[in-house]
Chains A and B, each alone.
Chain A
């Protein structure tokens, strides 16, 4: 029987797809990560980047907000919220 991937393995795979600009595959894997660990802020932040890349700024903002809920000092999420809203949230 095939062993189920651990949360770390899933995150690694998702990041691999992401860094190779395979955003559709990355999106699926990041959601699998969140099923296993709903508090994984890295997955939320990367999903934000994927939605921003698709110009779906509303969804991107929701993902960055979620990232900041779980990791309130996260620089990437803060920077990208400022970028898409045009408001400096510092």
Chain B
């Protein structure tokens, strides 16, 4: 199967980082911006970098946007250009168009004109920051489905030196520990002390929870909420 092709229109900080990360994962990336200097800067990282106006449908067609499986439109500040570029990408038949938005209205319009996905990094970051301040022990939270979440949480003190069986958290909270991450000190090849992360996937009932462990826990949101309060 041919590798997916990506197009990135708008090479600000967000767009250029997306383009570089995709290229680093060995995907073909077509990067477009109207500023020559930003295009030059990214040209050594991506498959093809082109100076073009994102509102010029012929220029985008000639650049080969129609051949991309996914196009990421990242011109957050310039809403008008972002909307026109979205429209053109959809008109050219790009199956998956992702638009970076800077406001609720921007995202609503993008969806109405056919964007397949909108992202709102500022809002997502704000949510994550607020969440991390509200519960500083939560390192990561991923929504599995509407009801189920996966959280990475610093092991609460009440569980230190207890085995998973002794902690009894499945019975008490109805959540499951699916992995334990632990930093282990070692001496590296240069003879210097270092620390590496070791992950115990699917820990057994007799595995012990230690201070500073990170527990990866799955459960229903309500149950996790109770567990987080430990």
For residue B184, CB closer than 8 A to chain A, the reply is yes
How many A-B pairs fall under 8 Å by CB?
33
| B187 lies within 8 A of A19 (CB) | yes
- Give the distance in Å from the alpha carbon of A53 to the alpha carbon of B183 in the complex: 7
Asked whether A42 and B190 contact (CB < 8 A) given A19-B185, A21-B185, A55-B154, the answer is no
| B183 lies within 8 A of A45 (CB) | no
For residue A65, CB closer than 8 A to chain B, the reply is no
> In the assembled complex, how far is the CB of residue B19 from the closest CB belonging to chain A, in whole angstroms?
17
Asked whether A42 and B154 contact (CB < 8 A) given A18-B185, A19-B187, the answer is no
Number of B interface residues, CB 8 Å? Answer: 13
How big is chain A's contact interface, by range?
Answer: 10 to 19
Contacts of A72 in B (CB 8 A): none
Contacts of B129 in A (CB 8 A): none
Residue of B nearest to A14 (CB): B193
| A76 lies within 8 A of B192 (CB) | yes
> In the assembled complex, how far is the CB of residue A61 from the closest CB belonging to chain B, in whole angstroms?
15
Asked whether A46 and B193 contact (CB < 8 A) given A18-B185, A19-B185, the answer is yes
Asked whether A19 and B193 contact (CB < 8 A) given A49-B185, A76-B188, the answer is yes
- Give the distance in Å from the alpha carbon of A76 to the alpha carbon of B178 in the complex: 30
- Give the distance in Å from the alpha carbon of A45 to the alpha carbon of B187 in the complex: 13
Q: Which residues between 166 and 205 of chain B lie within 8 Å of chain A, taking CB atoms?
A: 183-188, 190, 192-195
Q: Which residues between 17 and 50 of chain A lie within 8 Å of chain B, taking CB atoms?
A: 18-21, 42, 45-46, 49
Contacts of B187 in A (CB 8 A): 19
Kindly identify which residue among A42, A45, A46, A53 contacts B212, using a CB–CB cutoff of 8 Å: A53
- Give the distance in Å from the alpha carbon of A54 to the alpha carbon of B210 in the complex: 12
> In the assembled complex, how far is the CB of residue B42 from the closest CB belonging to chain A, in whole angstroms?
16
Residue of A nearest to B186 (CB): A19
> In the assembled complex, how far is the CB of residue B216 from the closest CB belonging to chain A, in whole angstroms?
16
Contacts of B186 in A (CB 8 A): 19
- Give the distance in Å from the alpha carbon of A54 to the alpha carbon of B154 in the complex: 10
Known: A45-B193, A53-B212. 11 other contacts (CB 8 A): A19-B185, A19-B186, A19-B187, A19-B193, A42-B192, A46-B193, A49-B185, A49-B193, A49-B194, A55-B154, A76-B193
Interface residues of A (CB under 8 A from B): 15, 18-21, 42, 45-46, 49, 52-55, 74-76
Interface residues of B (CB under 8 A from A): 154, 183-188, 190, 192-195, 212
